[in-house]
C-alpha cells in the first residue's frame, strides 16, 4: 500500500506484461499509475496524485479529498430498531455503535 498527500494506492503485478500497476482506492475519481520497479512505481504514484491535483486546479475543479468521514448506510427498519436498542443498552449513540463495529471489522486493514 502506498500513501501520499492523504491518498492511498494499491498495487498489483501483471506477470505477463512484467509491470506493476496500481489504483488510488480512497476516492471515487479514477487515478492510476504503473511502473516496472518499486522505485518507478512509487514515483509514478506520487506523479499521478500531483498531476490530478494540478489538473483540478487548472480546470477550476475541486479535487476529491480522500473520504470525509461521513457516509449513509441504508438498512431495514428491523435492523435499525435492533441497532438503536443496542446503542441505548450501551449508553452510546447509534453513530458510536456503528463506528465501534467498523473499527473492529477493519482492525486488520489499518
Indicate the angle between helix axes 77-90 and 94-105, nearest 10 degrees.
100
**What whole-number distance in Å separates Cα of residue 87 and Cα of residue 30?**
37
Number of domains in the chain: 2
**What whole-number distance in Å separates Cα of residue 17 and Cα of residue 29?**
25
My answer on whether 13 and 48 are in the same domain is yes
- Residue 65 maps to a domain: no
Q: Helix and strand tally (H, E) in the chain?
A: 3, 4
Provide the domain limits for residue 36. Answer: 2-59
Q: Give pTM, 2 decimals.
A: 0.65
H-run or E-run covering 31? none
Tell me the per-residue pLDDT of 8-35, one tens digit each, with 9 for 90 and over: 999 999 999 999 999 999 888 999 999 9
Tell me the per-residue pLDDT of 37-67, one tens digit each, with 9 for 90 and over: 999 999 999 999 999 999 999 999 999 877 7
Amino acid at each position: 500500500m502506498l500513501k501520499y498527500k492523504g491518498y492511498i494506492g494499491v498495487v498489483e503485478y501483471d506477470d505477463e506484461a512484467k509491470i506493476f500497476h496500481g489504483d488510488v482506492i480512497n476516492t471515487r475519481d479514477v487515478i492510476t499509475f504503473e511502473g516496472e520497479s518499486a522505485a518507478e512505481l512509487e514515483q509514478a504514484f506520487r506523479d499521478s496524485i500531483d498531476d490530478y491535483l494540478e489538473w483540478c486546479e487548472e480546470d477550476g475543479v475541486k479535487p476529491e479529498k480522500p473520504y470525509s468521514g461521513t457516509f449513509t448506510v441504508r438498512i431495514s427498519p428491523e435492523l435499525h430498531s435492533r441497532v438503536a436498542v443496542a446503542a441505548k443498552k450501551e449508553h452510546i449513540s447509534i453513530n458510536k455503535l456503528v463506528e465501534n463495529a467498523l473499527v473492529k471489522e477493519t482492525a486488520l486493514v489499518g
